[in-house]
Amino acid sequence: MSRARRGTGAVRGPASALTSFLAGLGVQPSAPLTTWGNSTAINGQLAADGPVIDPTAELDPAGAVTARNVEAGPSTVADGKRARSASMNSDDLDAPVQHDSLQAVGEFMTCAECDKQFTVTAYTKPRPKGGHLCVPCCYALGIDPFAKAKVKKVAKKAPQKEARTVKRFEDRRGAPGLGDICIQIIGKYIEDVEQLGDIGHVNMDKVCRIISRGRLLTPETAQLFYASDREELVMYDCTRLVHESYLAMANLCPNLYTLRLHYCGQLTTDALVHISRLPLRIIELYGPFLVREAGWKALFENCNLESFLITQSPRFDLALLENLLAQCPQLKHLRLDEIGKLDNAFLPLIAQFPLISLDISSPTHHLSDEAFVLPSTVQSLTLLDHPELTDEILPTIAKLPLHTLKLSLMPELTDAGVATLFQTLTNLSHVDLEKGHDLADAALISLIESSAATLTTLSILGWREVSSDALAHLTRCVKLTQLNLGWCRQVTDFLLKDLLDACPDLNTIYVWGCNQLTDAAPRRRGVKIVGIETHSL
Amino acid sequence: MSGDFVKLVSADGYTFVVPRNVALQSGTLRSMLDPTGNFTEAETNTCHIQYRGVIVLKVIEYLAYKLQYLDTSSDEIVEDFSDRVDPYIALELLTASDFLEV
């Protein structure tokens, strides 16, 4: 039956009783049963092939047309079962019959053409003038009663054209860079380091920088920098180094004294335990996230550290600091930058080290004034991003024998407080008071009074309130080499001219955000002036 | 004539006369030879490069290679320059290429 409807017309095998029965109820196989025959001429022949009305069958006395009257083509024998199933819902005969809207499959409806009742199937066809048709009427009107219900095609939306023009960078033109080619060759011959020639340690460091810049320091290329006679190793981008590379480093550089690893996110506890067998004195790690307690402990135990500089570690805690104090009591340089567990409790312990330089920056838990205490030997102090520390800490700092002071991003410091600090703290050479939003004339003049003769680098980035009169005092700092005046709004071409005349050693001035400067800003041979707005237009 | 060619002098005294458009493929040389920069190099059309002659030679060879394929899609370049580089000079060439921005 379904085969017939598939439109072959001419050739058709016998259909089973089940097929006929199902066809009577409007059920058809979802996939074609045969592959032969694909004629599309259905209409003309379908009347002969498709279901036919048994001309001998009489209509029900009630006049209803049920499936009993409609037979599948091949099985002309009326099927008792089918008749029963079709008439099972005879209760529904009394239900009000609607002409127009299609009922659910299996319900009765009245044919809009002949007013006789029929069972609704999935194939029930609508009458062109409204209502629905029974099967005989379909034939009468030349409609295929068993044609598959048409699925409304949803018009495909044309893909929206993007308003912006997207440049495709995939289409790269031109030859690869010579640097890339060289690194490729180095990677290829890495096993045979002698072939690559010796260019000296200074140049090797340069090569390391060049390779790191392209993030091309891989386990293969890293071997280039391992040598048994190396005492110092700096890797500028260890992002792609894996556990094995660190083991190789520990094995191939047995004499390392100084180790600096930037972006060593993949440095594991095990690797650090291996590295700790080296005679290290100075270690600087940037981002040792994976190192756990065991790794740090091995490092403190095996190495008599002078410098312990770490940035970004979520696992370094108070117990480890106690361990460090016990194992390396002679530590000279300590950096704990962006340490997740650093809090007030760390400070008394830190104060027990005989430190020369100390850097405590960006702790997750803010430090507070009452806990603030420092080792009395500190000569270089860096405190960055402490939103809760106020002027209260300045007397502690004033007692230190400092030459370098960096107090950046400490919004609670006041102009008067910092001015008082510089009355006792004299002869500083490096001062960085970036982003001290409330600092202004008094602090600057006080600093210049106390350290004019020794100051070499100075950053007052973000002192928006500082006046041009106070800035003019900078000309007294004749030893300045680097100066950052970013976002000091009163900086003018004239001030710059005075500074260039007064400070013979200047080599760099940063003036980002000093928007009074013009194209006519003065220059001097050997001095870089970075950030003049009009230069970038 | 001097407008079309420039002279590149290596640290050990070798002199290479190369077409200007080849030399300009290097960022550093382009800045050196920029007439608006008022550098001696631009006036005399001579650049001193502080690398050995063998390195400078290879750099110039690369610059010509780069110029040749300037407008060719990367996929279509079949000639591999790395075949022409001796591994023995690879490290020095790397530092030179970094300095000369090629």
User: Which alpha helices (DSSP H) does A194-317 contain, by range?
Assistant: 201-213, 219-222, 243-252, 269-275, 293-302
A67: nearest Cα among A115, A124, A113? A124
Within chain A, all domains assigned CATH 3.80.10.10 are found at 379-537
Whether chain A has a CB inside 8 Å of the CB on B39: the answer is: no
Mean of the pLDDT values across residues B85-101? 90
Nearest CB partner across the interface for B69, out of A175, A184, A206 = A175
pLDDT higher than threshold 70 for residue A66:
no
Binned at pLDDT 50, 70 and 90, residue A61 comes out as: very low
Pick the residue from chain A with its C-alpha nearest to B59.
Answer: A178
Whether chain A has a CB inside 8 Å of the CB on B97: the answer is: yes
The count of structural domains within chain B is 1
ipTM, two decimals, is: 0.90
Q: What is the DSSP letter of A352?
A: T
- Nearest Cα of chain A lies from the Cα of B1 at a distance, in angstroms, of 28
Are residues A399 and A425 in contact, defined by beta-carbon separation less than 8 angstroms? no
Are residues A193 and A224 in contact, defined by beta-carbon separation less than 8 angstroms? yes
Pick the residue from chain B with its C-alpha nearest to A175.
Answer: B66
- The residue among A318 and A67 whose pLDDT is bigger is A318
Give contacts of B82 with chain A, Cβ < 8 Å. Answer: 181, 184-185, 188
Give contacts of A178 with chain B, Cβ < 8 Å. Answer: 59, 62, 66, 81, 93, 97, 102
- Both tokens of A305, joined, read 């550290």
Specify the length of chain B in residues. Answer: 102
- Both tokens of B101, joined, read 């921005």
Helix, strand, coil % over all residues of chain B, rounded to 5: 55, 15, 30
User: Which alpha helices (DSSP H) does A262-412 contain, by range?
Assistant: 269-275, 293-302, 318-327, 346-350, 394-398
Give the 3-state secondary structure of residue A208. helix
pLDDT higher than threshold 70 for residue A28:
yes
Interface test with A, best of B49, B94, B98, B102 (most A CBs within 10 A): B94
Parallel, antiparallel or unpaired: strands B5-10 and B15-19: antiparallel
Q: How far apart are CA A106 and CA A88, in angstroms?
A: 10
| Separation in Å, CA B20 to CA B38, B41, B43, B71 | 17, 13, 13, 18
**Residue-range definition of the domain harbouring residue B67:** 5-100
Whether chain A has a CB inside 8 Å of the CB on B101: the answer is: no
Parallel, antiparallel or unpaired: strands A508-510 and A528-530: parallel
Q: What pLDDT score does A405 carry?
A: 95
Spelled out in words, what is the top-level CATH class assigned to the domain A379-537?
alpha beta
Are residues A448 and A424 in contact, defined by beta-carbon separation less than 8 angstroms? no
Q: How far apart are CA A347 and CA A383, in angstroms?
A: 13
On average, the pLDDT of chain B sits at 89
pLDDT tens readout for residues B14-51: 999 999 999 999 999 999 998 887 888 888 999 999 99
| Separation in Å, CA A48 to CA A35, A134, A144 | 21, 18, 12
Q: What are phi and psi of B58, to 5 degrees?
A: -70, -35
Q: How far apart are CA A459 and CA A382, in angstroms?
A: 13
Residue with tokens 């000369």: B100
- Both tokens of A481, joined, read 């080499």
On average, the pLDDT of chain A sits at 82
Q: What is the CATH number of the domain that holds B51?
A: 3.30.710.10
Contact across the interface for B73 and A172, Cβ inside 8 Å = yes
Q: What pLDDT score does A191 carry?
A: 73
- Both tokens of A382, joined, read 């860096």
- The residue among A62 and B84 whose pLDDT is bigger is B84
B53-86: buried (b, 16+ CB within 10 Å) or exposed (e) per residue? bbbbbbbbebbbbbbebeeeeeeebeeebeeebe
Q: What pLDDT score does A34 carry?
A: 53
